[in-house]
């Protein structure tokens, strides 16, 4: 299988180490991975702000860049979910079919459902609390939504169990929003910050040293609360844990 690595613009600009960890992890597992150059934004910020038509050119660009790959894999549940759920409608409005929506995966989803590794070389001797982001839970099904009467599962937890020395924990309100929500954090900053504070405190109640998850946007929001309030916990993207030591 030929994999095109999709690195969202904010990860490329602010958290390049997450992109590097994703590449190393996929290569270590023996996969044929390529990073298409000249990647741009997937168009989510424009669409979330009510200007979905301005996402069309970006969606077309992404279709062009990733057309040769069997899978498109990215370390951002939110951006992956946007491509999967929104690009078909955006491209249809411009008279184009969407091919990426049927082959794009968040990296955790891809590892858990497609690659299915039985072991990883990672060692991370720390207490880690899992953050289940809204898009990851309810659009990509990385874990079971708490409002549904179904047995609990967590693909992130399953992957973290492959890491030596780690202690995996989860907060009481297991999939409550952290308050980021893209444009919501800009338009309703007071509410967003209060939600972020509550979420960080919930993670801290587990005794964890780190908060981890599949969305750097959520982790970034909580890290802002942590730094502003000088709280004794840190955030780390799950790929950095799974690739620890590579």
Q: What is the 3-state secondary structure (H, E, C) of 14-77?
A: HCHHHHHHHHHHHHHCCCEEECCCCCCCCCHHHHHCCCHHHHHHHHHHHHHHHCCCCEEEECCH
Mean pLDDT of 129-139: 97
How do residues 189-243 score in pLDDT, each as one tens digit? 999 999 999 999 999 999 999 999 999 999 999 999 999 999 999 999 999 999 9
Asked whether residue 183 carries a pLDDT value surpassing 90, the answer given is: no
**What gap in Å lies between CA 31 and CA 35, rounded to an integer?**
13
Q: What pTM, to 2 d.p., does this model score?
A: 0.95
- What is the DSSP track for 175-218? T---S-TTHHHHHSHHHHHHHHHHHHHHHHTTT-SEEEES-HHH
Q: Please state, for a pLDDT cut of 90, what percent of the chain lies above it.
A: 93
Residue 185's pLDDT is: 86
**What gap in Å lies between CA 203 and CA 212, rounded to an integer?**
10
How do residues 25-68 score in pLDDT, each as one tens digit? 999 999 999 999 999 999 999 998 899 999 999 999 999 999 99
Beta strand 104-106 with 167-169: parallel, antiparallel or unpaired?
unpaired
Strand partners, 72: 4, 104
**What gap in Å lies between CA 71 and CA 94, rounded to an integer?**
24
- What are the C-alpha distances in Å from 120 to residues 127, 162, 214? 18, 6, 18
Asked whether residue 163 carries a pLDDT value surpassing 90, the answer given is: yes
Q: Which residues contact 162 (CB under 8 A, 6 or more apart)?
A: 117, 118, 119, 120, 122, 242
Strand partners, 123: 164
């Amino acid at each position: 299988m030929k994999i095109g690595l999709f690195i969202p613009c904010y990860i490329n600009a602010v958290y390049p180490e997450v992109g590097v960890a994703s590449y190393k992890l996929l290569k270590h597992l023996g996969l044929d991975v390529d990073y298409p150059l000249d990647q741009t934004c997937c168009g989510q910020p424009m669409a979330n702000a009510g200007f979905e038509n301005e996402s069309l050119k970006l969606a077309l660009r992404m279709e062009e860049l990733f057309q040769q790959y069997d899978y498109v894999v990215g370390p951002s549940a939110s951006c992956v979910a946007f491509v999967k759920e929104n690009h078909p409608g955006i491209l249809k409005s411009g008279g184009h079919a969407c091919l990426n929506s049927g082959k794009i995966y968040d990296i955790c989803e891809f590892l858990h459902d497609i690659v299915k590794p039985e072991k990883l070389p990672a060692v991370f001797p720390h207490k880690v609390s899992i953050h289940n982001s809204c898009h990851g839970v309810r659009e990509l099904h990385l874990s079971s939504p708490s409002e549904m009467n179904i047995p609990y599962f967590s693909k992130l937890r399953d992957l973290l169990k492959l890491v030596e020395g780690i202690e995996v924990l989860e907060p009481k309100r297991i999939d409550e929003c952290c308050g980021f929500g893209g444009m919501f954090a800009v338009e309703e900053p007071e509410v967003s910050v209060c939600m972020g504070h509550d979420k960080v405190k919930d993670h801290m109640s587990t005794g964890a040293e780190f908060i981890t998850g599949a969305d750097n946007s959520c982790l970034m929001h909580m890290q802002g609360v942590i730094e502003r309030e000088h709280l004794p916990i840190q955030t780390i993207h799950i790929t950095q844990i799974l690739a620890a030591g590579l």
